[in-house]
């Protein structure tokens, strides 16, 4: 019998375009729901779990004695209990390379949209057919402004290149990148407090870990300029959402552009939805024709590698190889 691949996130149709190739070597089953108890039951005889947003906690992993790998359709593996997978000898694989420039494009689009008040102008135009210069539509030049990056990995570096192209001054906070490397990239290192206090635009590009969860709370947001904008295309839980809403309502921040949220999807009535100073997109920073093709192909290759017993290119828990 072919090994079973359990696919979560039914609404995404993960690697649908390559299903014929996967069907040739595996039996693909889409989970009835992403509830942990359902996944635990349906993963009992699975060889691979193929997931995107669904939580894969320890009980799901422990319920699948024949599980060989968990393949993430995307970059961040914060939805997977990697420690539990490692204990069980299960390989955790992600797709980190498919959309660095793609996501940086989106983050910079949010930045430009905020700087030029595009959502407020567009909304007024649609309502009135024309608007004249008014304070609520007054934008900002980017040249000479300071772009502060929290995280200087693949996407952060791509964002730095874009900022430099618009003649912005770039500073970054990343405890895992040394000052010499930053300066070699044309980026000035800064501690978090200095970055928040000095930047005109703060853009988040770090991964979600226990250390970065809630990294920007009320105290950190209060250090930012009242004229500053906050952008997050990484993970929503890095920012204290209630503190962000309070800061925007009080005028302690000029605006925000978010593609990610602590709880997704958003529900009608969410306080950010009614704010003209905010641009919101539904976790689609990665979604272009080219990036979609890359992530689909990388995901398929990773599943095939796991099923064949080969070392996947982007193995997150390499220690399983010594077991």
Q: Which of 162, 220, 235, 296 is catalytic?
A: 235
Active site residue 283: yes
Active site residue 123: no
Active site residue 293: no
Which own/partner contact pairs does 182-189 have at CB distance under 8 Å and 24+ positions apart? 182/152, 185/152, 185/157, 185/160, 186/160, 187/149, 187/152, 187/160
Report CA-CA distances (Å) from 310 to 46, 162, 202, 262, 318. Answer: 18, 37, 41, 35, 13
Q: Which of 16, 83, 226, 264 is catalytic?
A: 264
Find out whether the peptide bond into 205 is cis, omega within 30 degrees of 0: no
Q: Quickly count: other Cβ atoms within 10 Å of residue 135's Cβ.
A: 6
Report CA-CA distances (Å) from 204 to 11, 30, 297. Answer: 27, 33, 27
Task: Please state the separation of Cα 160 from the chain's center in Å.
Answer: 17
Task: Please state the separation of Cα 279 from the chain's center in Å.
Answer: 16
**Active-site residues: which are they?**
235, 264, 283
């Amino acid at each position: 019998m072919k090994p079973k691949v359990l696919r979560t996130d039914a609404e995404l149709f993960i690697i649908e375009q390559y299903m014929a190739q996967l069907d040739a070597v595996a039996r693909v089953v889409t989970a009835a729901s992403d509830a942990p108890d359902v996944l635990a039951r349906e993963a009992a005889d699975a060889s691979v779990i193929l997931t995107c947003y669904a939580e894969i906690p320890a009980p799901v992993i422990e319920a699948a004695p024949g599980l060989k790998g968990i393949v993430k359709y995307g970059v961040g593996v914060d939805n997977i209990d990697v420690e539990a997978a490692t204990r069980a000898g299960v390989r955790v694989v992600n797709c980190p390379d498919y959309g660095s420039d793609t996501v940086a494009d989106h983050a910079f689009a949010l930045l430009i949209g905020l700087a030029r008040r595009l959502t407020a102008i567009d909304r007024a135009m649609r309502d009135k057919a024309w608007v004249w210069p008014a304070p609520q539509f007054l934008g900002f030049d980017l040249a000479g402004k300071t772009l502060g990056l929290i995280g200087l990995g693949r996407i952060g570096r791509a964002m730095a290149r874009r900022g430099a192209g618009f003649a912005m001054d770039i500073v970054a906070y990343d405890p895992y990148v040394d000052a010499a490397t930053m300066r070699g990239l044309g980026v000035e290192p800064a501690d978090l407090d200095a970055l928040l206090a000095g930047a005109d635009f703060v853009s988040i590009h770090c991964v979600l870990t226990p250390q970065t969860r809630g990294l920007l709370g009320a105290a950190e947001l209060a250090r930012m300029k009242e004229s500053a904008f906050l952008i997050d295309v990484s993970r929503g839980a890095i920012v204290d959402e209630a503190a962000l809403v309070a800061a925007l309502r009080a005028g302690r921040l000029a605006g925000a552009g978010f593609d990610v949220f602590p709880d997704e999807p958003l529900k009608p009535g969410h306080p950010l939805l009614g704010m003209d100073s905010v641009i919101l997109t539904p976790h689609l920073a990665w979604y272009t024709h080219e990036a979609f093709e890359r992530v689909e192909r990388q995901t398929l290759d990773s599943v095939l590698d796991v099923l064949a017993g080969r070392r996947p290119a982007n193995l997150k828990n390499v220690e399983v190889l010594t077991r």
